[in-house]
Amino acid sequence: MKSYITTPIYYVNGSPHIGHAFTSIMADILKRNRQALGYELMLSTGVDEHGQKNQEAAQELGMPIEDYLDMRCAEFRDVFDKLDVTYDYFVRTSRDGHKEAVAGMEQSIFDKDLIVKKNYTGTYCKGCEEFKKESDLTEDGQCPLHPTMQVEQTEETNYFLKMEPFRERLLKHIADNPDFVQPVAFRNELKQMLAEPLEDLCISRPKARVTLGVELPFDTEFVTYVWFDALANYLTNIDWPDESYAPWWEECEHLIGKDILKPHGVYWPIMLMAAGLPLPKKLSVHSHWVGAGGVKMSKSIGNVVDPIEVMDKLGVDALRWYLARHMRADSDSQISVELIAQTYEAELNNKLGNMLSRAAKFARSKFDGKLPVKGELTAEDEALRQTVLKATAGMGEWIDLADIPARTQAIITAAAELNEYIDKQAPWSLFKNEDTRERSKTVVYVALDCLRIVMEALQQVIPASAGKALATLNVTEVARPWKPELDRLPGGTELGDIQPLFPRVQ
């Protein structure tokens, strides 16, 4: 069983930001989930190195383009490493093999007479790196996605891919495969984009304007349009056109933000159809993060959440947890350093970290450093155990992008019950009295066994912290395929050192 998950490849005209961190972390969570189910995984993430925007960013810094790209590429890689994103392949579109494969794809489409050369006058948005129709622009004639980057009037001769011959076929594919675009709101948005005849897609840029790109194989005066080249990464990462690409490609799922639905939902499937290749299995689309109060993040407002700053202050898992837990499927979600800190304190620190340290410290001091042996279980013990099993079951099943918040929410709700349980049972008081001392052992056993299940489940979301917690519980190996299972820790197990999981931050 294979699963191939891709993230967008990010423009390198600036440093990695929270949006980039988000999609790549979600991809990593899905990867860990599917690995837990026993799948073989391929996760690609990386950078989109071509196009006018990147070219101008290098010019602004006065750096030679290769040096600039190397610098940014190292920066993105480093951030993803720090975020515990376990990518299998880090994409760089400047790689020779990628460029050759892109040129091969273009030539094959050109040979089918699906590419035409013509003169075009239009409005260009550098932010989107695409031509815009009048109806795509705001009232004052700007791109709604990049209001601060003036659109440009451009008149050029370029090469265009014929799109309209494929529109009906694509609509039929969407109708026949309800899972092709998820969630349904974005599927409907895509159908809307395909409701009217499609204009030809400009797939080249004259070298006079852009040099940073893949040279067209049939006209060396031009480079390939950055989106055409970038989308092809999904194939070139898995060695297309080598036949070995096929088993991965069949299972390919693209994670994308809603901003790039059109290139992925319209351009990419049509490029593939034109090249005679199968379509990816699925497009999983997410909404965006905005600042607190629903305001778009911007440097001038000062509400930009820098992933590095959050990691330095609160640790990587504070960020991973917030992003996993608070993204809403159907609308934009709010983020700020304060919101992340609050969630960190209320959930990770109060419900998980304290719980582990309290129970494990107690076991270490009163039960000879060991997990006690449990006695007979009460109805309350059984109820808690069932709650935890139910709440964690979702991590033992296939998770789709849109499921992540609900599955993490279920776990933290169970952790809250676990806290209530231990407060109410108060093993520390039970221990003081000879008559109830045995009972205190059972309570500590039940609590720590439940916490083990919670932490095993959370390995998919906050792997570093969950790993530390499991080390304290002396769990060295987690079975695959993973399912929440009671009593896997025998009473008498030696407990490991207690490492502070989520230290309190000022």
User: Which residues participate in catalysis according to the annotation?
Assistant: 17, 20, 125, 128, 143, 146, 296, 299
Binding site for ligand MSP (CB under 6 A): 8-11, 19-20, 22-23, 48, 230-231, 233, 256-257, 259-260, 288-289
Tokens of 445: 């056993």
User: 55 exposed, middle or buried (CB, 10 Å; 0-12, 13-18, 19+)?
Assistant: buried
**Euclidean distance between the first and final Cα of the chain, in Å?**
46
CB of 14: closest distance to ligand MSP in angstroms? 8
- Contact yes or no for 280/51 (Cβ under 8 A): no
User: What is 435-461 written as a DSSP string?
Assistant: GGHHHHHHHHHHHHHHHHHHHHHHTTT
Q: How far is the CB of 361 from ligand MSP (least distance, A)?
A: 40
Our CA angle for 201, 203, 205, nearest 5°, is: 130
Contact predicate 55/66, CB 8 Å:
no
Phi, psi of 391 (to 5 degrees): -70, -30
At its nearest, how many Å lie between ligand MSP and the CB of residue 440? 47
User: Could you tell me how many residues make up the chain?
Assistant: 506
User: Which of residues 22 and 322 has its CB atom nearest to ligand MSP in the complex?
Assistant: 22
Render 328-349 in DSSP notation, one character per residue.
-SSS-EEE-HHHHHHHIIIIII
The residue written with tokens 């379509």 in the block is: 279
Please say which residue, 288 or 483, places its beta carbon nearer to ligand MSP.
288
> Smallest distance, Å, CB 146 to ligand MSP?
10
Q: Least Å distance between CB 262 and ligand MSP?
A: 11
Which lies closer to ligand MSP via its Cβ, residue 318 or residue 360?
A: 318
Among residues 439, 440, 467, the alpha carbon closest in space to that of 452 is found at: 467
Identity of the residue, 189 or 259, whose beta carbon is nearer to ligand MSP in the bound complex: 259
- The CB-of-318 to ligand MSP minimum distance in angstroms stands at 18
* Single-letter residue type at 7: T
DSSP helix/strand/coil, 201? strand
Tokens 């929270």 belong to 18
- Between 35 and 333, CB nearer to ligand MSP: 333
Q: For residue 387, how many other CB atoms are within 10 A of its CB? A: 17
Smallest distance, ligand MSP to C-beta of residue 170, A:
18
Asked whether the beta carbons of 126 and 53 are under 8 A apart, the reply is: yes
**What is d(CA 232, CA 213) in angstroms, rounded to the nearest whole number?**
13
Indicate the residue among 335 and 443 with the shorter CB distance to ligand MSP.
335
Q: Which is nearer to ligand MSP, 31 or 358 (CB)?
A: 31
Q: Which residue is nearest to ligand MSP (CB)?
A: 19
